[in-house]
Structure formats: C-alpha cells, structure tokens
Amino acid sequence: MPPPPPPFSSSSLLTRIASSTPLASLFSTSRLFSSPPPSPTSSPAMDRAAADDSLRKALAERQAAVDAQGNAVRALKAGKAPKPEIEAAIAELNRLKIDKAGVEKQLQAAVSGAAAGEGALTREAFRRLVANTLERRLFYIPSFKIYGGVAGLYDYGPPGCEVKSNVLAFWRQHFVREEEMLEVDCSCVTLETVLKASGHVDKFTDLMVKDEKTGTCYRADHLLKDFCNEKLQKDLSISAEKAAELKHVLATLDDLSADELGAKIKEYGITAPETKNPLSDPYPFNLMFQTSIGPSGLLPGYMRPETAQGIFVNFKDLYYYNGNKLPFAAAQIGLAFRNEISPRQGLLRVREFTLAEIEHFVDPEDKSHAKFSQVADLEFFMFPREQQMSGQAATKTRLGEAVSKGTVNNETLGFFIGRVYLFLTCLGIDKDRLRFRQHLANEMAHYAADCWDAEIECSYGWIECVGIADRSAYDLRAHTEKSGVALVAHEKFAEPREVEKLVIAPNKKELGLAFKGNQKMVIESLEVMGEEEALQLKAALESKGEAEFLVCTMGKSVIMKDNMVKISKQKIKEHQRVFTPSVIEPSFGIGRIIYCLFEHSFYTRPSKAGDEQLNVFRFPPLVAPIKCTVFPLIQKQEYESVAQLISRSLTLAGVSNKIDITGNTIGKRYARTDELGVPFAITVDSQVDVTIRERDSKDQVRVSVGEAASVVKELIDGHRTWSDIWSSFPHHASASAEEDE
C-alpha cells in the first residue's frame, strides 16, 4: 500500500502562527513597560480563557437584569404608578446599567488584550510604538518603499542589518562551532525534481479564496480567523456557547479541509473584506515562487521554500566528509522564499526570509547524545501535548526529567531543545515569554517521531520561532527513492553477525507461464511482502499447495501455486548493517526571532524633565547593532581628537562604534543611542579621563583615555560585567545632571 501523501518539511510550519491558543496570553502591560531587569510572571492562558467565559456569562446576566428592570419601569409607567415609585425603579435601572457597563468594559479589555487600569497600552498600541521606533531608526524599511512597497518584503536598514549579522554570528558560534557541525551553503534556485521528491510541489499550498468580482485573493483561513476574532472581540452580546464555538473554530483552523473551510465561510456569510462581494470556494495555491532555469523554458525551478533539502541531497558527500561516521550534523544559514497569498503581521510573515537549519543525522537505534548531561538541569516552560489537550498551562520543567519520563522522545531531541533555550535567552529573549510546545498528534507529520516548537510570546500572541523535529528517516528515503542514489549509513560489525533473513525467491519461469504480461507486477508484489504476510503465504502454500495472493498494482488477487515462489528463512553472515539515518531538525526563523527580540528588548522611561517617554532597546552587547558611541561633551577640537582616537581603537578591536560630534545636548545624544540599543557610551570631557555610561542603569564611571577602549572591549566580550567595572572605577557624580543638560 502506498504511504499517505508526504506532508512537507515541518520547518514549513515556521510561517504559521501556532493556532491552538490564538487568544491565549492577553498582554499584561506592566511587563511590556517594566524597567530592566524585567521580572514578569507567567500568566497561564487557560486562566484567562476561563475569566473571559465567566465575564461573558456575567454580562449576559447583567443584560437580562437591565432588560427585566426596563420592563418593570415601563409597566409602572403604563400602570400610572406613583412618581416616587417610578423614580426609584429608574434609579435601580440606572444602577443596573452602570453595573452592566462595568462588566462590559472588563470583557472588552480582556478580549482586546489590554489590562484594566490607567495608562495601560493595548498590545496593538505597544506594537505600533515598537514598529514606529524600528522604522524611524531604520531597523527595517519596507522594500521598494519609493515605489509603494510590496506586502511581505522588507529590507534591513543599518542597525537591523547589524542585529541580524550579530544573531547569525552567534548562531554559528553556538551551534556550528560548538557542536562541530558541517556548514554548507546551497543554491536557492532549485530543480523541480528535488521539490517533487520532498513533497513541496504537490503539498506546499495554502487555501485561497477569490473575490468573485475583482479577483483579489485572500487566504481562506485568515478570513475565517478574522471573522471569529472580530466577533469575539467586538460583539459582546454573543452567548458563551457561541463564543466557545468560535474559539473551537480558531483552535482547529489548521485542520480544516478546503470543503470544511468553504462550508464555514458560507455558514457565517463571510464576504470579501473590502468590497463585500461573494467569495469563491477555497482552492489550493502553491506557495513557492516559480521560475524557469535556462533559456529553453523547459526546465522548471523554484526558489527554495526552506534550506533543508540542500543538506539532504548532499547527505552522501557529507557523510563521507565526516569519515562515514554517525552522528553528525550539517547546518545551513540561508534565504528561503514563500509566495504568501496575502502577507500580514509585518516582519513575522514575509515572502523572503533567512532560515538557519540544522540536520542532525543519527542512528535510529541510538538517539542518545553524549553531551545531554550539559543541558539536563535546565528548567524552562514546557507545554507537552497532554497538558494542551487537558487544558492545563505550560509548566516549568527540568529538561532531564522531560526526557527521562519520555515526554520528549529522545536525548538528542532534548539536547537541541536545551541548546535552543540557551541560544534564545542569551540573545535577550525573556525566558518567561518563551515556551516549548509539543506538536499535537494532528499537527505532526505521520513519519515524525516527535516535534517541539520554541514559541515566543509577543504582541501578536505566541509565535513559532524555532521548530525542533525528529523527522525519522523520511527525507533521506524520499530522495533515495527519487534519485536512485542510496542515502544510507553503514555500521561495520567488529565481527560478522549471523542473522536469520527472510528470502523470497520467485520462480520467474512458472510465474511467466501463469501470468504472462502481469508477471512483473506479481513478482514486485511478492518481493515487497512483509515478514508476517510472507510466512502466512509460505504456510498456506505448504499446506494447500496454492493460495490467494493480492497484487495491489493489478487491483485483484491471483492464485499462487507452490512451484511459483520459494519462501524460506536463511541464516546468513552480515558484516555490516546498512540503514537510513534518522534526522533531527532544529529550524530557526531568524527574522521572527529578531522581531520578538525587538519587542522583548523595548521599554520606555520618562525623560529627566518628565515631559516625554524615551524609547530604549535593552539589547545585550552580543546583539546590539552598535556596541559603543563616543561623544565629545562639547564641540571642542581637543575633545574631538580624543574621541577619534578612542573610536579608532574600538574599530581596530573589532568593536562597532559611532562618533557623534553634533552639537546636540548630551541628553539628546544619549536618548538617540538608547533608542538604537547601544549599551555603552563614552563621553569625552577632558584629555585625561572620560566617562563610560551604561545604557539601562544610566550609571557612569571615570576611566582614563588610554583604558577606555579596552574596558569597553572587555564588557562587550563578556570578560567583565558592568558591576565589575562599577566596583573598580570611580563613579561619575554629575551623571544624571548631564542627561538633560
């Protein structure tokens, strides 16, 4: 029987927002605006959902009370009741209305993600504030902006480009160097055959609907999602039951077939958002950018939708390069392209993005990992399948325990989960807004052994940023089959082993006589029999001399006689074991990680005068686009020369830095660099000593001109911490005074 159609690589899920908890985790603004160090507490999604439910019920009760009292007032008026009685009833009605309005407000706040309370920002407002800062300071720019731009394409401007290259350099150090991976760099333009084998040509699709009059295209699930969300957020009058139904639709959105999606769209009367025209039925659209290789137009190609396939097709050479030894990992950083139907969510869903992927090849019979003990004691939020199904929240779990209990399938998968946790938190991702969520059975490919997503919470909800999947032997087998090149590993035995093997020997002559032109199909069916089936056939042939035998490719059974096939178990000596390695694949959406990093690093603090809020990115030095700024305190040639000298030393030491010799006040200059996330600033106010200021504490120390660059270098490299420096050098007293000079 042919296997079910192959789903595409799990990394393709990277562009999908985890949809199982779409309304989970309403924002607590106190967390967004806390000053460093942040100490947010985890807020379990399920608690909030329950609160939401009870608010809806309370609101319905209040509404009923208002209605009842309204009727009572009308009855009193109709019955010409005494005026004081009517007035008292009206007063009670007003009280009930106020009461209802209060509950309404609470529910409104809950569904729109804002915490109740003064000065609270909704998550949308927070997102706008961050986006505004990012665009204004050129962290990113919509591509081809002067031509109106295109949805889903963004350029990284200078600070964004620096952040990206810092993140990638750290990725290379943390994974490739530390784990001695084989890094490769493969073509983006990809032969159709490769993506046929991987399943992308046939299966890498999203369901699309068209405005039947204008032809504008939409993602079918997006329209349904928007409808449900809007209904839940804006229409407070819907019953708790209706709300539950809509939430169920949201939770199962990814599982809906084209027909089911179409039916829901019809049921809810959803129309095209701009025109309100009717919509077509949903149909699949392949998300790969197609092109043609060479001038003939006969060789179709695609821009790769992931980097993994480049590694799989090179497995044989890489295995050889590694001395024909397992386990080993290959890694690749590179662009991937997905022609999204209608990209939204800014930097999170784009048509061109950088992936960093690891394919760790391992013997399927031994998935232990030599270095697992190094990460076993890490503790972080894990969200296993069972907890999701039973409505519990993610809990802090010791990784070693999750593996030993079997929650995480094997040590190698566990090892990578631990390394991913370290990677993300070193970059500055808030560990309390990071969780590892296990795929539900319906999310996972049929061949996958286990799959965990590193999800990061940001203003868009919980975002899948890294997928870590045990994909078993699926990919290598698919390319072995299609290319005819065996992508396998060998284990040489120290001594030959005697093994019992089933041998199926068709008698071609007899089969030819009996089945003529169908002979080949019969032989194939015989050869692919499983052990159990073969032994049953053997028994039947031995006892009855003939047996019915199903030939799938002919679609019917034939009569097999005992002279047509010899089935036996033989002992043979094997010198090696040949097998297809399993692959464990951590796949990083670099752009998504960076975007979440932007949100987690952003905070505001009042200016000294208190008249405005200043923006700060609390990037760690590792990530900061510029590590240090150098300012002459005032415009003076001597100070400028010293500043140039220090800047030059920093550059030679490989520390990216920027001189600011504008005549702006020092406070303005600090504010400007805080907004770029520059961790340290050197201010030159003498030719002997200078001050070094730390961004988040705003503390300043006095350091000699000669030492300044090397002190900053040590801070940047992590050889000394700010508190080391703070305790080693004289403090600068006039620090805060200068900020708003």
Q: Is 323 in the site for a second copy (CB under 8 A)?
A: yes
Q: Which of the 8 DSSP states describes residue 731?
A: B
The angle subtended at Cα 399 by Cα 597 and Cα 307, nearest 5°, is: 50
Residue in 97, 231, 242, 316 binding a second copy, rule: CB under 8 A? 316
Q: 10 Å Cβ neighbour count for 77?
A: 12
Residue in 6, 22, 160, 305 binding a second copy, rule: CB under 8 A? 160
CB of 622 to a second copy, least distance (A): 13
- Tell me the torsion sign for CA atoms 212, 217, 221, 225: negative
Q: Is 291 in the site for a second copy (CB under 8 A)?
A: yes
Per CB under 8 A, contacts with a second copy among 561-620 are: none
Q: Is 275 in the site for a second copy (CB under 8 A)?
A: no
Q: Is 157 in the site for a second copy (CB under 8 A)?
A: yes
Give 22 or 625: the residue with its C-beta nearer to a second copy.
625
Residue in 69, 166, 339, 700 binding a second copy, rule: CB under 8 A? 339
CB of 729 to a second copy, least distance (A): 27
The size of the interface with a second copy (CB under 8 A), counted in residues, is 79
Residue in 341, 451, 682, 712 binding a second copy, rule: CB under 8 A? 341
Return the range that interacts with a second copy (CB under 8 A); candidates 24-32, 313-321, 511-519, 678-686.
313-321
Q: Is 488 in the site for a second copy (CB under 8 A)?
A: no
Give 341 or 362: the residue with its C-beta nearer to a second copy.
341
Which residues contact residue 454 at a Cβ distance below 8 angstroms, ignoring those fewer than 6 apart? 417, 420, 421, 424, 434, 435, 436, 464, 465, 466, 467, 468
Rounded distance between C-alpha atoms, residue 631 and residue 629, angstroms: 7
Residue in 34, 292, 613, 734 binding a second copy, rule: CB under 8 A? 292
Bridge partners of residue 154, in order along the sequence: 142
CB of 313 to a second copy, least distance (A): 5
Q: Is 155 in the site for a second copy (CB under 8 A)?
A: yes
**Tokens describing residue 77:** 């008026």
CB of 661 to a second copy, least distance (A): 10
Q: Is 150 in the site for a second copy (CB under 8 A)?
A: yes
- Tell me the torsion sign for CA atoms 388, 390, 392, 394: negative
Per DSSP, the three-state class of 573 is strand
**One character per residue 426-445, x = contact with a second copy (rule: CB under 8 A):** --------------------
**One character per residue 637-656, x = contact with a second copy (rule: CB under 8 A):** --------------x--x-x
Q: Is 161 in the site for a second copy (CB under 8 A)?
A: yes
Residue in 102, 117, 158, 718 binding a second copy, rule: CB under 8 A? 158
Residue in 295, 530, 610, 663 binding a second copy, rule: CB under 8 A? 295
Rounded distance between C-alpha atoms, residue 320 and residue 328, angstroms: 11
Q: Is 154 in the site for a second copy (CB under 8 A)?
A: yes
Give 567 or 678: the residue with its C-beta nearer to a second copy.
678
Rounded distance between C-alpha atoms, residue 450 and residue 410, angstroms: 9
Strands (E) across 289-347 are located at 290-292, 300-303, 328-337
Rounded distance between C-alpha atoms, residue 195 and residue 337, angstroms: 13
Cα separation values, 712 from 164, 630, 676, Å: 22, 11, 17
Per CB under 8 A, contacts with a second copy among 170-229 are: 172-173, 177-178, 180, 182-191, 193-194, 208, 215-217
Q: Is 310 in the site for a second copy (CB under 8 A)?
A: yes
Cβ atoms of 456 and 462 within 8 Å: the answer is yes
CB of 481 to a second copy, least distance (A): 11
Residue in 9, 10, 15, 314 binding a second copy, rule: CB under 8 A? 314
Return the range that interacts with a second copy (CB under 8 A); candidates 238-246, 297-305, 397-405, 429-437.
297-305
Q: Is 622 in the site for a second copy (CB under 8 A)?
A: no
Cβ atoms of 160 and 306 within 8 Å: the answer is no
Q: Tell me which amino acid residue 604 is.
A: T
The angle subtended at Cα 632 by Cα 627 and Cα 636, nearest 5°, is: 155
**Tokens describing residue 328:** 């080993």
Give 468 or 630: the residue with its C-beta nearer to a second copy.
630
- Terminal-residue alpha carbon distance, the chain: 79
**Looking up tokens 């800047």, which residue turns up?**
647
Cβ atoms of 654 and 709 within 8 Å: the answer is no
Q: Is 352 in the site for a second copy (CB under 8 A)?
A: yes
Q: Is 663 in the site for a second copy (CB under 8 A)?
A: no
Q: Which of 253, 308, 347 is nearest to 467 (CA)?
A: 308
Q: Is 164 in the site for a second copy (CB under 8 A)?
A: yes
Return the range that interacts with a second copy (CB under 8 A); candidates 37-45, 258-266, 307-315, 547-555.
307-315
Bridge partners of residue 591, in order along the sequence: none
**Tokens describing residue 11:** 């990394």
In order, the DSSP letters of 668-690 are HHHHHHHTTT--EEEEE-SSSEE
CB of 540 to a second copy, least distance (A): 41
Burial grade of 230 (CB within 10 A; 0-12, 13-18, 19 or more) = exposed
Give 245 or 340: the residue with its C-beta nearer to a second copy.
340
Q: Is 317 in the site for a second copy (CB under 8 A)?
A: yes
Per CB under 8 A, contacts with a second copy among 447-486 are: 479, 482-483, 485
